[in-house]
């Protein structure tokens, strides 16, 4: 009887532990946004922390915009090598450009009649390569897409962004964070910033959703592609590498460091 009760309790306890491990806590405001007033937590999110605000009238009036290169908040990447930081900033630039170009007209240079998007990376927690390697090896013997990574081996990315009108008003704002899960579908990586690089795409998706008016549809990519400087949008080599090795490999994903200014 005791064993039966213990067995029935084991599953709920395990699920509760797994659920807690999947949660991403909000990161403290970095002071980058021109205003944090009105930011609201997005409903239905668990693995990612999303706080956002959008003035529908202001956002609807914006079509043309220029995206400033992402910057790093001082102290946001302790223990991360400068060359790895450059990779993360470059990937954030790329993914934000990709997503916004499907909702707005993205310009290559600032213009007086164009809005401005400002972006900052507010935290990079490095990935532990050895633990990720062990996870990839273990994943080869575990059926299904769910993987297990050693505690303390997972990374994180946090960032803030805002859409500023030509009049200098904040039309939309976003404070965002995502931590890799110990149990889940996040791909391990031998790169110290493997998790942060992967989460740049998730951040870019959210920037597009948070800044574009609710009724604005996704549009075809313009010709010439305003994000062409980042290389091809499709990277089939990255998918094949993950399929074969179980690892996220930045070199196969088209990741490039941010250009030095």
Q: Is the pLDDT of residue 115 over 80?
A: yes
Average pLDDT estimate for 192-220: 96
Residue 9, pLDDT score: 37
DSSP bridge pairs for 179: 156
Q: pLDDT: is 169 or 189 the higher one? A: 169
Average pLDDT estimate for 235-247: 74
Closest CA to 221 of 104, 68, 59, 95: 104
Residue 121, pLDDT score: 99
Q: pLDDT: is 222 or 147 the higher one? A: 222
Split at pLDDT 50, 70, 90, the class of 138 is very low
| Range from 22-26, 146-150, 251-255 that averages highest in pLDDT | 251-255
Split at pLDDT 50, 70, 90, the class of 19 is very low
What does the angle CA 18 – CA 19 – CA 21 come to, to the nearest 5 degrees? 65
Split at pLDDT 50, 70, 90, the class of 124 is very high
Q: Is the pLDDT of residue 73 over 50?
A: yes
What are the structure tokens assigned to 186, written together? 């996040």
Residue 189, pLDDT score: 84
Q: Is the pLDDT of residue 170 over 60?
A: yes
DSSP bridge pairs for 172: 54, 163
Residue 131, pLDDT score: 52
Q: Is the pLDDT of residue 63 over 60?
A: yes
Q: What is the CA radius of gyration of the chain?
A: 20
Q: pLDDT: is 48 or 242 the higher one? A: 48
Task: Pinpoint the alpha helices (H) of 26-81.
Answer: 56-60
Task: Pinpoint the alpha helices (H) of the chain.
Answer: 2-22, 56-60, 82-100, 129-139, 194-211, 236-245
- pTM for the model: 0.85
Residue 140, pLDDT score: 45
| Range from 7-16, 97-106, 184-193 that averages highest in pLDDT | 97-106
What are the structure tokens assigned to 222, written together? 């313009």
Closest CA to 132 of 114, 113, 152: 152
Residue 46, pLDDT score: 80
| Chain-centre distance for alpha carbon 138 | 26
Q: Is the pLDDT of residue 141 over 50?
A: no
Residue 260, pLDDT score: 66
Residue 160, pLDDT score: 99
Residue 16, pLDDT score: 41
Residue 174 main-chain phi, psi, to 5 deg: -145, 130
Q: Please give the mean pLDDT across all residues of the chain.
A: 85
Closest CA to 130 of 178, 191, 186, 184: 191
Residue boundaries of the structural domains of the chain: 23-222+231-252
Average pLDDT estimate for 104-112: 97
Split at pLDDT 50, 70, 90, the class of 23 is low
């Amino acid at each position: 009887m005791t064993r039966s009760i213990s067995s029935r309790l084991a599953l709920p306890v395990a699920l509760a532990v797994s659920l807690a491990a999947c949660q991403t806590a909000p990161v403290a405001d970095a002071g980058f946004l021109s205003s944090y007033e009105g930011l609201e937590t997005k409903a239905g999110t668990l693995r990612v922390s999303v706080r956002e605000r959008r003035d529908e009238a202001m956002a609807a009036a914006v079509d043309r915009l220029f995206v400033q290169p992402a910057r790093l908040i001082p102290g946001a990447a302790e223990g991360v090598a400068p060359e790895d930081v450059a990779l993360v900033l470059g990937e954030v630039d790329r993914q934000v450009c990709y997503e916004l170009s499907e909702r707005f007209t993205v310009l290559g240079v600032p213009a007086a009649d164009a809005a401005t998007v400002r972006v900052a990376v507010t935290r990079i927690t490095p990935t532990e390569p050895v633990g990720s390697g062990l996870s990839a090896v273990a994943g080869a013997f575990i059926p299904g897409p769910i993987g297990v990574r050693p505690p303390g081996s997972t990374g994180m990315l946090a960032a803030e962004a805002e859409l500023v009108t030509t009049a200098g008003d904040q039309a939309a704002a976003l404070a965002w964070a995502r931590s890799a899960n110990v149990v889940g579908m996040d791909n391990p990586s031998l790169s110290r910033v493997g998790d942060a690089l992967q989460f740049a795409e998730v951040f870019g998706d959210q920037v597009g959703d948070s800044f574009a008016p609710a009724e604005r549809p996704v549009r075809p990519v313009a010709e010439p592609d305003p994000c062409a400087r980042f290389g091809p949008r499709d990277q089939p080599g990255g998918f094949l590498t993950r399929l074969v090795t179980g690892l996220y490999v930045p070199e196969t994903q088209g990741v490039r460091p941010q250009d030095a200014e």
